[in-house]
Amino acid sequence: MTNPQTGQHRTGYYGFSWTYLIFGWWVPLLRGELAIAALHFYSRSSRPDSGNLIVSFLYNSQYRNRKITEGFRDLQATINRFLDDHNAHSKPFEWVANPDKIIAAVRRGHQI
């Protein structure tokens, strides 16, 4: 993910967070989210470890959504914009090789 205003790059993780399952509230702390780390640390001290499993399913999507609201663009959106621009100005494919030469080379077992 990239923030076009600041030029910062962040990795947008998807799916289950094994990192959060193992390291818990340290993950948001190491990713620079101090308020989220404090919230998770406080919630970890008030409930048993089974909460880590639940949060592990949710953490990556929440992190990605927080970054998108901060102005980061999701990679999928960037790819879609590139494809839309490319398709708007695309040229048809033109075959330039002689098919008879290709078939003859394959039959000989050689490259062209």
If we measure between CA atoms, which residue out of 12, 14, 16 comes closest to residue 57?
A: 16
- Flag whether 10 is in a domain: no
- Which pTM was predicted? 0.45
pLDDT tens for each residue of 47-78: 666 677 777 787 777 777 777 777 777 667 77
If we measure between CA atoms, which residue out of 66, 64, 61, 70 comes closest to residue 3?
A: 70
Domain count, the chain: 1
pLDDT tens for each residue of 94-105: 888 888 988 888
SS3 5: coil
Q: Which domain holds residue 22?
A: 18-108
The pLDDT, as a whole number, for residue 82 is: 83
If we measure between CA atoms, which residue out of 52, 45, 26, 46 comes closest to residue 37?
A: 26
- Flag whether 102 is in a domain: yes
